[in-house]
A and B are shown apart, each in its own frame.
Chain A
Amino acid sequence: MIDWAPLILTFKLAIITTLLLLCIAIPLAYWLANSKKRIKPVIETLVSMPLVLPPTVLGFYLLIAFSPANGFGQWLNENLGLQLVFSFEGLVFASIIYSLPFMVHPIQSGFANLPTSIREASYLLGKSRFTTLWRVLLPNMKPALLTGIVLSFAHTIGEFGVVLMIGGNIPGETKVASITIYDEVEALNYGTANTYSIVLFVITFLILLTVYLVNGGYLKQFWK
């Protein structure tokens, strides 16, 4: 029997990261989709950076920044009691940055694809920006939201480099499934590595399949 802790930790990390990302990405994507400010290209670039940057680069800088030996890391530790290096909180933070484009991009294009007239119509009916966002815009871009949620979730499950750099390998705290697989292979326990791999493979396959089925409308026939 395998140790389930790494898998549970992986999903806990993915769920928390996805929920926090959703809260961050909606306002950010809304701003990116509507802003004409000059700084927008810079922000867009920063959001997309994790797509191209090796995870180790990101992990390295986060490690440096959060290190208690460092001014910022020390400040976090003293004032907020947060130690972000080699801790679960640190993993969540790193995962949010690492998966940011996977959440922001679908939501941003979801906003951009909505006709401007429905937003304007809502304003003209006297509704505030927030009411419009919550009751008109978001409900009409559910496929985009679902894509963002699932991609971020799946991408967090697949994280390796960042976690290794900033989280290390602490059982129950930062030892997620992808790290465990690497560990087992190093120790030549191919059987255990295989079990973890199959579980990840099957789960991510099912998650992605669900998105394509839902967004492609294949499931509509069943729940209409």
Chain B
Amino acid sequence: MIVAALHKKLWSSEGEMNLEVEFSLEKGDFLTLYGPSGAGKTSILRMLAGLLNPEAGSIKVDGKTWFDANTKTNLPPQKRKLGFLFQDYALFPNMTVGQNLCFALSKGQNAQIVEELLDIMELRAMTDRKPDLLSGGQKQRVALARALVPQPEILLLDEPLSALDGEMRSRLQDFILEAHQRFNLTTVLVSHDVGEILKMSDTMLVLYEGKILKRSTPADFFSNKAVSGKFQFTGEILDITQQDFIFVISVLIGKNLVKVVADESDIRNLKIGDKVLVASKAFNPMIQKL
């Protein structure tokens, strides 16, 4: 139902990069775009939305051409009928929660949908509040509700939960999944969070420097990569320091900082900011009541 071929030269922090991707999606799919920062995930989403123009290629949705570089077709974002969630929520600060939702109504649309969404997203109690007075999780629920008011068939999510902490994140994932199923949406999510991807999506595209490395199910992708260890966690390298002959790598796993000892050959292809798997095989973990 969505067929996209996108080409564009982009400038990332590491220099010039050619974004060149082709993919298709069926109605009702939940697709995640996964890859390091600067791989082009957000750019792909913005091209689908019409906020960024590809240099070449085409986007077809349900047989209708949204974009075609050859025929110079380019449907403006207003006409693409899709929902988009931004990282910074993008709520209108001058309007209350209710007004934010009502603003999204198109001319002549029945306002019943607003009432329905206020209930589904559990926003009833805060209808008259301005966005400034809401927590991050509440804001994103408002943004989700507002994106659904025009009854789109496609929902695009640009790391919408990255600013939220664990519990709130998990609750919002449930809200998004519910919306996805209830409104029969086709959803594309940009995410770094392995748990989130496994929970939410049924397909993922792994991107690297503007190319699709792999298309697979999240379960396949993340389990193939794993080592068979008793204990394994994914985390991010915050620091690498040398102490005499060894290196100490500080890894942030969840909210905990873990130090791992490594030798020179280990750190050769590691750098600060890398996502790593920390696993332990030989030791028995100890457990102690706190």
Q: Are the CB atoms of A124 and B94 closer together than 8 Å?
A: no
B208 partner residues in chain A, CB cutoff 8 A: none
Q: Are the CB atoms of B88 and A115 closer together than 8 Å?
A: yes
Is residue A81 within 8 Å, beta carbon to beta carbon, of the partner chain?
no
Residue among A115, A123, A125, A140 with max Cβ neighbours from chain B (10 Å): A125
Residue among A120, A126, A128 with max Cβ neighbours from chain B (10 Å): A126
Cα separation A122 to B78 with both chains bound (whole Å): 8
Q: Are the CB atoms of A140 and B93 closer together than 8 Å?
A: yes
Q: Are the CB atoms of A123 and B77 closer together than 8 Å?
A: yes
Q: State whether A117 and B90 are in contact (beta carbons under 8 Å apart), knowing that A124-B82, A128-B78 are contacts in the complex.
A: yes
Q: Are the CB atoms of B78 and A117 closer together than 8 Å?
A: no
Q: State whether A121 and B78 are in contact (beta carbons under 8 Å apart), knowing that A126-B150, A135-B103 are contacts in the complex.
A: no
Q: State whether A121 and B90 are in contact (beta carbons under 8 Å apart), knowing that A127-B78, A135-B103 are contacts in the complex.
A: yes
Which residues of chain A from 102 to 119 have a CB within 8 Å of any chain B CB?
Answer: 115, 117-118
Q: Are the CB atoms of B103 and A123 closer together than 8 Å?
A: no
Q: How does the 8 Å CB contact mask read for B72-88 relative to A, with 1 for contact and 0 for none?
A: 00001111111110111
Is residue B49 within 8 Å, beta carbon to beta carbon, of the partner chain?
yes
Is residue B149 within 8 Å, beta carbon to beta carbon, of the partner chain?
yes
Q: How far is the CB of A204 from chain B (nearest CB, A)?
A: 30
Is residue B146 within 8 Å, beta carbon to beta carbon, of the partner chain?
yes
Is residue A139 within 8 Å, beta carbon to beta carbon, of the partner chain?
yes
Q: How far is the CB of A215 from chain B (nearest CB, A)?
A: 16
Cα separation A124 to B92 with both chains bound (whole Å): 13
Q: Are the CB atoms of B51 and A120 closer together than 8 Å?
A: yes
Is residue B238 within 8 Å, beta carbon to beta carbon, of the partner chain?
no
Partner of B86, one of A117, A123, A125: A117
Cα separation A134 to B194 with both chains bound (whole Å): 41
Is residue B104 within 8 Å, beta carbon to beta carbon, of the partner chain?
yes
Cα separation A11 to B215 with both chains bound (whole Å): 69
11 CB-based A-B contacts, threshold 8 Å? A120-B77, A120-B84, A121-B86, A122-B103, A123-B51, A124-B78, A124-B83, A125-B149, A126-B79, A126-B81, A127-B78
- Closest 8 pairs between A and B when the two form their complex, measured CB to CB: A117-B90, A121-B90, A139-B94, A123-B77, A117-B86, A125-B104, A124-B84, A126-B78
